[in-house]
Structure 1
Amino acid sequence: MKTLILLFMISSLSVFAQDPDSSTALFSVAEAERNFSRASVAIGRVNAFKENLADESVVFQPDPIDGQKFYSQRKPSPLLLTWEPEYVDVAASEDFGISHGPWEMKDYGPKKIPPFWGYYVSVWKKQADGKWKVVVDMGNGVETKPAYEVKLSYPKGSDKKREFKAVDAKTVESSLMKWEDEFAKLSKNNVEMYMKHLTADARIIRMGHFPATSTDSIKALLGKQTDLTWKPIDGDVATSGDLGYSYGSYESKSEKGHYLHIWKKQADQSWKMVIDVQLPKE
């Protein structure tokens, strides 16, 4: 565990580990995530999700399904879910953001199920009324509670106003989907190729493991998935075209499931992956 914390600290040199100014879009994404978690405590997990998911949203159970429909059919339960953002980013257009961090589930019912933990990744989009809503949410579990203090971090410069030229989001989304297909073929059994297309602060999240953030820990996780390939189903990008996501199905020699990839456009206009999270089927 001490080694994990040290690796996390080293990998964070490319990010700021502090709250951004409260006037920034970056702060508003982080605060929307925190308010979401607070609502989970105040009004229950099911109602909190119904309030914070966009009308068109996707959650994974473990297959991708309509988020609002899923939670509208759920009944309240004594399971208390809380979480905290530890990494956020926002597009230059300030209408599209991502959040990632640890979650904890506790049972306050008569069965007293032991607590369990994991990590989530959420994609947020600003709605017509100016409110942030979650459009995609995926998470998976770890065996022990994270032992480090959660502190918010974000890429350098993402808390500043940035100039951008609006793009045709559908066109850029289409190009991202094509890149996903190509990237899957290039990276099959080729860890070095995969590594070349990660940002410096990339996070790889796998079931049963804490997020891998260093070169060695990422390679170790990827090395466990022989013949890994994936197929995109859908995705979206910001109106500034610099931040986007795709989700789809994946399969390796040992398992299959669904993934969520967060992508960021680089200065040379190439896409690099910020977050790769997988949720295997049981």
Structure 2
Amino acid sequence: MHATGLLLVGLLVVAGGVAWTAAGADGWPAALRELVASERAFARAADEDGIRAAFLSFLAPEGVVFRPRPVPGRPAYEQMPADATALLAWRPVFAETSASGDMGYTTGPWYLKNRRQDPDPAGWGHYVSIWRKEAEGRWTVILDAGIRHGRADHLPDAVTVARSGQPVHPDEIPFSGLDAEMSRLAAGSGPAAAFRQLASADLRFYRDRTLPVIGRDKSLALLPAAPAAWSWRAEGQAVSADGSLGYSFGILETRTAAGDARPALQHSYLHIWRHNADGYRLVLDLTVAIPAAPAP
């Protein structure tokens, strides 16, 4: 889920935990500038044309949205009334692209008013949108997800960006095995150990009802330390042309331990992976609970 009307105060770069202000946009890769501009155009379209029209304009044909399960995005918005009066506003505060410039993501705060004229929003949260650059040069959204949290009025307006990852060496471990490796590590050593081994130091950790947590060490405190039957089952994944950035999404099932007779809790998850010298590392983890089916 995905504010508009806010000017960019500064462009910051994050590298090794240090942020500094860039002296204008000329020094940045064109893909990064295009990505942030596309996200702002998306938000502006939602403000000017409405939520339905904006999403149908910017979603890729095979785009996915979380409802809360991952579902095809365009049918979900085609079913929305064209004259809906709700206002959904958002703004990017963080962005990253692949080194090849064909894939990227942005994230930032959103708020929702049930009616545009309402004095106060009805909800707040953070979104994550994954974008792909099409052959003709236009950027489209291939996955959109988000979390809800309480009101947050003092979030930064500036956009910070991460340095792109490194292209994949030909003998690199296949990208497709990363979620399975997380499941194996969680079962043997605990979810916290799995994240400690596979997450980047600048991990962004998204959970409902709380503001995003930035940093692997802070995130570990929110994860079980004991071995647990956490299983990430990918339903889709993609990687940039050079392998420097990729994502996977699907269903996370959690049990306290293997053999637990209780039904597993289910969550939709999104993982974004950056390739560096030490392999793929998780840079964003988003999980949204799926309500349990009512008892018969």
Tell me the TM-score normalised to structure 1 length. 0.83
Match of 2:111 in 1: 104
The correspondence for 1:263, drawn from 267, 273, 287, is 273
For 1:68 and 1:222, how far apart are their aligned partners in 2? 34
Report the CA distance shift for 1:220/1:17 in structure 2 as closer, same or farther (over 3 A).
farther
Report the CA distance shift for 1:16/1:67 in structure 2 as closer, same or farther (over 3 A).
farther
Match of 2:69 in 1: 63
Tell me, yes or no, if structure 1 residue 91 matches structure 2 residue 95: no
Letter in 2 for 1:151: A
Match of 1:123 in 2: 130
Considering only aligned residues, what root-mean-square deviation do their CA atoms show, in Å? 3.0
Match of 1:193 in 2: 194
For 1:44 and 1:34, how far apart are their aligned partners in 2? 14
Question: Relative to structure 2, which stretch is displaced further, 253-262 or 93-102?
Answer: 253-262
For 1:120 and 1:155, how far apart are their aligned partners in 2? 17
Unmatched tracts of structure 1, length 5 or more? 1-9
The alpha carbon displacement at 1:75 in A equals 0.9
The correspondence for 2:46, drawn from 23, 40, 43, is 40
Q: Deviations over 1:149-207 (max 9, x none)?
A: 23211114x4xxx995898xxx98x9222221122221342413312222222100000
Question: Relative to structure 2, which stretch is displaced further, 194-203 or 88-97?
Answer: 194-203
For 1:165 and 1:217, how far apart are their aligned partners in 2? 29
For 2:284 and 2:112, how far apart are their aligned partners in 1? 23
For 1:90 and 1:113, how far apart are their aligned partners in 2? 34
Letter in 2 for 1:236: A
The correspondence for 2:78, drawn from 67, 72, 95, is 72
Match of 1:251 in 2: 253
Kindly name which structure, 1 or 2, has the bigger radius of gyration based on alpha carbons. Answer: 2
Q: Deviations over 1:22-77 (max 9, x none)?
A: 76211110110111001000000110000000111111111111111211121132
For these two proteins, the number of residue pairs brought into alignment is 264
Question: Relative to structure 2, which stretch is displaced further, 12-21 or 247-256?
Answer: 12-21
SS in 2 for 1:239: coil
For 2:186 and 2:153, how far apart are their aligned partners in 1? 30
- Does structure 1 conserve the Cα–Cα contact (< 8 Å) formed by 2:204 and 2:284? yes
Match of 2:161 in 1: 154
For 1:43 and 1:246, how far apart are their aligned partners in 2? 31
Match of 1:237 in 2: 239
Unmatched tracts of structure 2, length 5 or more? 1-13, 256-263, 292-296
For 1:250 and 1:130, how far apart are their aligned partners in 2? 34
- Does structure 2 conserve the Cα–Cα contact (< 8 Å) formed by 1:229 and 1:252? yes
Report the CA distance shift for 1:280/1:164 in structure 2 as closer, same or farther (over 3 A).
closer
Letter in 2 for 1:57: G
The alpha carbon displacement at 1:224 in A equals 9.3
- Does structure 2 conserve the Cα–Cα contact (< 8 Å) formed by 1:15 and 1:201? no
Report the CA distance shift for 1:182/1:13 in structure 2 as closer, same or farther (over 3 A).
closer
The correspondence for 2:17, drawn from 13, 30, 37, is 13
Question: Relative to structure 2, which stretch is displaced further, 223-232 or 249-258?
Answer: 223-232
Report the CA distance shift for 1:130/1:11 in structure 2 as closer, same or farther (over 3 A).
closer
Tell me the TM-score normalised to structure 2 length. 0.79
The alpha carbon displacement at 1:15 in A equals 4.6
